[in-house]
Structure 1
Amino acid sequence: MKEGRRHYGQYCGLAAALDVIGERWTLLIVRELLVAPRRYNELLANLPGIGTNLLAVRLRLLGEAGVVEQLTSDPDGRARRYRLTETGQSLRPVVLGLARWGMPLLAEPDPHDEVRPEWSLVAVEAMMCTPPADGPDECYQFQIAGKDGREEVFHLEVKEATARIVPGRAVSPDLLAVTDAVTFVEIGAGRLDPLEAVVLGRLRLDGDSGAVLRCCRLLGLIPPTA
């Protein structure tokens, strides 16, 4: 055991996992790095409230555990970035499962709650169901706006009954969904119906009705038979 670290002192796989990722903020750091490698200042900005000293401690411990590593070079020559190792990437299903489990627990958003558009990538991946084997190959693009005017753009590609998230714009999406981060989370949490969001002007959907329905089914927003 490393000096200064708290341990459960239990010879159990779950306890061993929590020794590494059970501390406050740790899984949220992992969430950030599941989206993309981040510089230290980017992590600090995306995790308001963590404090620079605590972030440094968490990154050091994750590095010692082989979950996070620093990139040896940065393409633009600026500060080094942090990324998940292969061991860290193996946490993806764990984080997605927890995100999916926690979505129904979300209450009405507090005006002071932080909501970042880039978190929508993890939310969509957590919500995704398996596409039907006989479904068409399609592409759904999402444009999620944040409170500060920043926008996250990515698309969901369905090909040969497999769905994957691709950062950036699609060439010719079958569906374009434009909304803000708060509305997106409320829809995912089941607090706001997609149709209601469209009527209220909080969600814009550009695409044929078939693509809209298939996208909603894929994200579990409506039953498969709806």
Structure 2
Amino acid sequence: MAGKRSYQDGCAAAHALQLVGDRWALLVVRELLLGPKRFTDLRNGLPGAAPNVISQRLRELEASGVVRRRTLGPPAASKVYELTDWGLELEPVVIALGRWGSRSPSMLHDAPLSVDALVLALRTLFSPAAARGLTGSIGLRFGLDEFAASVSDGQFHIERGDAAAADATIVGDSATVNEILWGERDLDDAVKEGALQVEGDTGLVRRFLELFPLPEPAALAD
């Protein structure tokens, strides 16, 4: 925290912004919400941020107790960054901020997303009403990133991990899934073009992709 400007304001929101309000800070947090990452993984998830900026934000977040470093056990033995228990409490903040931002009339919903940002967007936009009567498990494989999702009784759960036992699996890249969810791309067209593969129950995948509607855009003042 040394050297950082203070708002000189006793409001806890002002203090929170001093901790995580710098450019890229909350996006570093976003990239760590689904589990620890190496520095190179963070760079891949934040291609618009210069490496020295990411390093600076990590140092600041570590100094404030939001992030910590640790070394993985053998055979990996690599250093990773992860959120502390207190840092993980930022997930509902990131989710709420994402939902608020998704209502912006100027939001480009088909713009590029990191893999983790896409998964968090699913958590953000899941509609229990749209999922009524649906039960199933869906795997998402984006290269080396794999996630296991499940829907049951209007509840949605997704986490990083093996989805080998899923009822259906989506294999491809996050950009294509993003375009199908909130762009103009059709699932069947993406499969025919080889941009996406569906393993297992295609009907379940089609229904799954309908569970994340965009909220109504905010009305702007005249």
Q: TM-score, normalised by structure 1?
A: 0.75
Shift of 1:215: 1.7
Report the 3-state secondary structure (helix = DSSP H, G, I; strand = E; otherwise coil) of the residue aligned with 1:30.
Answer: helix
Change (3 A) 1:41 1:166: closer
Structure 2 counterpart of 1:70: 69
Report if the CA contact (8 A) 1:127-1:220 is conserved. Answer: yes
**CA displacement at 1:207 relative to structure 2:** 1.5
Bigger shift: 158-167 or 6-15?
158-167
Q: Report the TM-score when normalising by structure 2.
A: 0.76
Give the number of aligned pairs. Answer: 207
Cα pair distance change 1:122/1:132, threshold 3 Å: closer
1:37 paired residue number: 36
Deviation larger for 172-181 or 83-92: 172-181
- What stretches of structure 2 of length at least 5 have no aligned partner? 216-222
What RMSD in Å do the two structures reach over aligned CA positions?
Answer: 3.0
Cα distance per residue 1:81-122 (max 9 Å; x no partner)? 21111111011011122233334611664xxx6x43343322
CA contact (8 A) 1:66 1:88 kept: yes
1:96 has 2:86 as partner:
no
Task: Call closer, same or farther: CA 1:179–1:90 in 2, change over 3 Å.
Answer: same
What is residue 142 of structure 1 aligned with on the other side? 140
What is the aligned partner in structure 2 of residue 192 from structure 1?
Answer: 184
CA distance in 2, matches of 1:99, 1:22: 15
Structure 1 residues 221 and 14, CA gap change in structure 2 (3 angstroms): closer
The corresponding residue for 2:151 is 158
d(CA) in 2 for partners of 1:219 and 1:133?
9
Flag the 1:51–1:213 CA change in 2: closer, same or farther, 3 A. Answer: closer
Tell me if the contact between 2:30 and 2:116 (Cα under 8 Å) persists in the aligned partners: no
Distance of 1:45 and 1:212 partners within structure 2: 27
SS of 1:139 mapped into structure 2 = strand
Partner of 2:115: 117
Structure 1: which amino acid aligns with 2:38? R
Task: Write the distance in 2 (CA, Å) between the matches of 1:34 and 1:67.
Answer: 11
SS in 1 for 2:65: coil
Q: Which has the higher contact order (CA 8 A, sep 6+)?
A: 2
Contact 1:39 1:80 in 2 (8 A): yes
Q: Deviations over 1:8-62 (max 9, x none)?
A: 2222222121111110010111011112111233323432343333223211211
Give the AA of the match of 1:174: D
- Code of the aligned partner of 1:5: K
Tell me whether 61-70 or 124-133 shows the greater mean CA deviation.
124-133
* 1:159-214 superposed Cα distances (whole Å, 9 cap, x missing partner): 454321132342442333334222222334x3225xx24235455545253x3454
Q: Which residue of 1 aligns with 2:8?
A: 9
Structure 1 residues not aligned, in runs of 5+: 145-149
